[in-house]
């Protein structure tokens, strides 16, 4: 198993290297002169040339790429041209907010998606099945920005049950920073009020973000369970006297979720990109809003760093998914050795 995990990690490295190179090249070949953008409309040609030299933009592209690679290896992402602060520091502050949001959304999508998918499969073509089908079609079809506004109108404005925006109540203030995850930090300092408030702020954006993933997971789980129920070993287990609940919830589900688990890894990418829109609507101070600002202000250093960080998180999640799959199905780890 250890060898299997190590292999999955090693396989992720070339992908990340490719991501660094590709994102760099893409950012640089798109039309537009970063030096001119940075200098602003009022700059003289001489000022533009100065900026070009200061940022090394006058060097050949290959050399710039090598410099960029060396900086990335040492964790140096340069300074944001927008705020003139180190990009690494800015992302470090904002990443936990996004991770907290996406992990909560992912957890919600997984738990409810698997539960609904199982319930639908056990009631194949029955009322539960139809209801879940309706929900998952809706979950995939509804645009998240529209749903977000609808949720805000209903739960924040009309019913006044949940906060409209932000990560925590301004008067309450954020918890003392240890991990950057407000839920965790609030627990660590023992502040129940902050924990509850942070949780209340999380609900609407997390639900908005989770819905499409939940729909996908429900569909995959449903078909996985239906397929597994046809297997000989299920008939055998019934004949051998397994209980109904144990058969469905444990014996069948574990086989059925192998496809779902792969899906969870892929979904994570969609969640991060979904977070960009959701963060903007809910005024969530994560890297989604940061990336939007970086794009609008041609802050290419920030943009490259965000791309890489998201890529790393995505790779880590997928290594975890592979590990989970090895744990769920022992044949996966065995056959790949």
Q: Residues in the site for other proteins, rule: CB under 8 A? A: 231-233, 235-243, 246, 251, 254-255, 258, 328-331, 334
Cβ-proximal residues to 145 (8 Å cutoff; 6+ apart), any chain: 277, 278, 281
CB of 267 to other proteins, least distance (A): 22
Residue 125 token pair: 């073509």
Q: Distance between CA atoms of 213 and 105, rounded to whole angstroms? A: 8
Q: Of 174, 259, 162, nearest to 220 (Cα)?
A: 259
Burial of 3 (0-12, 13-18, 19+ CB in 10 A): exposed
CB of 333 to other proteins, least distance (A): 10
Q: Which is nearer to other proteins, 70 or 246 (by Cβ)?
A: 246
Q: Which is nearer to other proteins, 245 or 296 (by Cβ)?
A: 245
Q: Which is nearer to other proteins, 17 or 236 (by Cβ)?
A: 236
CB of 330 to other proteins, least distance (A): 5
Packing angle of the helix pair 253-282, 287-296 (nearest 10 deg): 50
Q: Distance between CA atoms of 24 and 213, rounded to whole angstroms? A: 30
Residue 154 token pair: 């209903």
CB of 254 to other proteins, least distance (A): 5
Beta bridge partners of 86: 79
User: Cα(first)–Cα(last) distance of the chain, in Å?
Assistant: 9
Q: Which is nearer to other proteins, 14 or 241 (by Cβ)?
A: 241
CB of 163 to other proteins, least distance (A): 43
Q: Which is nearer to other proteins, 36 or 328 (by Cβ)?
A: 328
């Amino acid at each position: 198993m250890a060898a299997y995990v190590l292999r999955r990690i090693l396989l992720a490295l070339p992908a990340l290297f490719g991501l660094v190179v590709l994102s760099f090249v893409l950012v640089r070949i798109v039309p537009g002169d970063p030096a001119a953008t940075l200098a602003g409309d009022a700059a003289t040609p001489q000022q533009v040339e100065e900026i070009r030299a200061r940022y090394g933009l006058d060097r050949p592209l290959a050399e710039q790429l090598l410099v960029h690679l060396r900086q990335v290896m040492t964790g140096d992402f340069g300074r944001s041209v927008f705020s003139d602060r180190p990009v690494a520091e800015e992302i470090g502050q904002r990443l936990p907010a996004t991770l907290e949001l996406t992990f909560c959304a992912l957890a919600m999508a997984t738990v409810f998606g698997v539960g609904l998918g199982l319930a639908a499969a056990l009631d194949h073509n029955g009322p539960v099945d139809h209801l879940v089908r309706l929900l998952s079609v809706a979950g995939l079809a509804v645009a998240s920005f529209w749903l977000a506004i609808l949720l805000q109108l209903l739960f924040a404005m009309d019913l006044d049950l949940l906060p409209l925006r932000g990560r925590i109540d301004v008067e309450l203030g954020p918890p003392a920073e240890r991990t950057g995850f407000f839920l965790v930090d609030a627990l660590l300092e023992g502040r129940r009020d902050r924990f509850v408030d942070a949780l209340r702020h999380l609900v609407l954006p997390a639900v908005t973000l989770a819905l499409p993933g939940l729909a996908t997971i429900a569909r995959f789980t449903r078909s996985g369970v239906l397929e597994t129920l046809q297997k000989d070993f299920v008939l055998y287990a019934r004949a051998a006297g397994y209980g109904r609940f144990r058969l469905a919830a444990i014996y069948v589900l574990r086989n059925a979720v192998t496809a779902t688990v792969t899906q969870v890894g892929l979904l994570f990418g969609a969640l991060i990109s979904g977070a960009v829109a959701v963060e903007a609507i809910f005024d969530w101070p994560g890297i989604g809003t940061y990336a939007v600002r970086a794009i609008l202000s041609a802050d290419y250093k920030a943009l490259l760093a965000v791309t890489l960080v998201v890529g790393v998180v995505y790779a880590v999640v997928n290594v975890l998914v592979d590990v989970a799959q090895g744990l769920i199905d022992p044949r996966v780890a065995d056959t790949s050795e």
